Structure formats: C-alpha cells, structure tokens
Amino acid sequence: MIIVHDTFVCKPGNASKMAKLFKEWADVKKEKNVYVMTDMTGQFHRVVIATNYKDLADYEESSKHIGEAPEEKAMMEKFKDMNEMYTSGGREIFKVW
C-alpha cells in the first residue's frame, strides 16, 4: 500500500476554505480513502489531503480519471479559483511496510 500526501500552504484565511472544498470533494469520491487534514502544529495555514492506494499503478490509474464521474464534474467547477488560495504545495508518496 502507498499513502499520498498533497500539501497546500494556504494564504492566511484560506486554509479552512480549502479544507471545506476538499472535504466536499472527498464526500463525492467513490473510493472512501480520502482524508482532509489541517495543521495543529508546525507550519501555519497547511491543508493536507491524504489518500491511500494499493500501489503506484493504482494511484496512476486513479489520477487519470479525476473529475470524470458526473458527480465530480460539478465539483471541478468549484476548484477553478483554488490557485488563488495557496502560495505553495507539494506531494509526498509513502510506501507502507
């Protein structure tokens, strides 16, 4: 299994907005393997989206189909201004042993 962390460092006042947006997206995802987390310690204004997959091939296949399902298409429209909400971000992929 692998766990993927997509981390966004938000502009002040936007972390909770972004977290709510991703939480709404997670609620419509067919796979219920999405966790939306905000910082309690460490760097301020962070939102981390954690997902888990069987392996890298499963992750790649899932990534190809983001936003294709009818219920996700409506969500994608809500994400159109997301780039204005954060200053930087990154992705980490962990292998679970």
For residue 4, what are the β-bridge partners? 51, 93
CA atoms within 13 A on the CB side of 75: 18
Task: Map tokens 């905000």 to a residue.
Answer: 38
* Token digits of residue 77: 């429209």
* Separation between Cα atoms, residue 12 and residue 62, nearest integer Å: 31
CATH 3.30.470.20 for the 2-95 domain, yes or no: no
pLDDT in tens, the chain (97 residues): 999 999 999 999 999 999 999 998 888 766 668 899 998 888 899 999 999 999 999 999 888 877 677 777 777 777 888 889 999 999 999 999 9
User: pTM for this one?
Assistant: 0.85
